[in-house]
Structure 1
């Protein structure tokens, strides 16, 4: 069973928007809303929670990019942008703001489905990369605090690295905590000034 893809359409050309909307609906997409400008885009994305946002604005500006950047940070959503205008610098800024697919020609009914597929695939790929990076950063942070705690234990108790590691493991098991939680407590305790 395939899930219907829900779309928020932003197009400042009413005739083209109507043609694209009809094509999307006929192709089985769920058109949540059709906006004539990107004003209030943050609110609309929050309200409708679309699977993808399609944007075709004659003169895309920095306000749109700022809105997309905030959406990308707080409510990541695939975005396909169509625009006949905008040089390399604007395209780079659009991608950095969270545009998953940028089409350098205006939106037309026959180009929409491939753009949706590209944008959603790019978005999924980027999100996986983002999650992987976050996991790696978390692991590095955990290792850092554990190494710091081992170093403090070794210095304060004059024990080997292996003994310091075993001490942290034992404390973690006895307190039903993670090594990181115990390491944070050890660092906090051993770094606090002696009264």
Structure 2
């Protein structure tokens, strides 16, 4: 069974270094999708190529690149490894917040590429798993909140017990081939008292 090589989008503003790194990546079995000399157009290139990871080695990373990475992280989450000899603690914190999975405080070199890729991809998977788990938990809390609100309204309006209100929601959901959350949202919309 053959595995698909990891696909990489390389951003490097030093042509000689970029050519050397590109050669090393290809020789190591990575699939180099594209090579950019600046972060300009990064959003478009990530959308176009859909890389497994973005490697960035820029002498003076700035806020523009962080803004691009933040948009990518929100709309098309992709692992990012950034290499830079510059950038203090504040910049590194901002980079991580923008979606950088691994930040190496030294420039890109052959012996750092594979470990950086592994770290960035592992960190990215861990973060995505955590984010999805938090989203599921939030959805469950939101669902429970609206169902409890609907039960409270049914209990008050119809003078029934909590168990009867719950059964009413369940029956309405089954009869309308809907979820309890959808039924609860409809009940809250229609029965919510104007007095808050």
TM-score, scaled relative to structure 2 = 0.96
1:176 CA displacement:
1.2
Displacement over 2 Å in runs of 4+: none
- Per the alignment, residue 51 of structure 2 pairs with 50
Per-residue deviation, residues 121-180 of structure 1 (Å, max 9, x unmatched): 000000000100110111111101100000000000111111100111111111111100
Alignment of structure 1 residues 73-84 onto 2, 5 Å: 73-84=74-85
Structure 2 CA distance for aligned equivalents of residues 159 and 3 of structure 1: 60
Per-residue deviation, residues 96-135 of structure 1 (Å, max 9, x unmatched): 0000000000001111011000000000000000100110
Per-residue deviation, residues 39-97 of structure 1 (Å, max 9, x unmatched): 11111111111110000000000000000000000000000000000010000000000
Aligned residues: 193
TM-score, scaled relative to structure 1 = 0.97
Q: RMSD of aligned C-alpha atoms?
A: 1.0
Structure 2 CA distance for aligned equivalents of residues 63 and 123 of structure 1: 22
SS in 1 for 2:20: helix
Query: Which segments of 5 or more consecutive residues in structure 1 lack a partner in the other structure?
Result: none
- Per the alignment, residue 16 of structure 2 pairs with 15
Query: Which segments of 5 or more consecutive residues in structure 2 lack a partner in the other structure?
Result: none
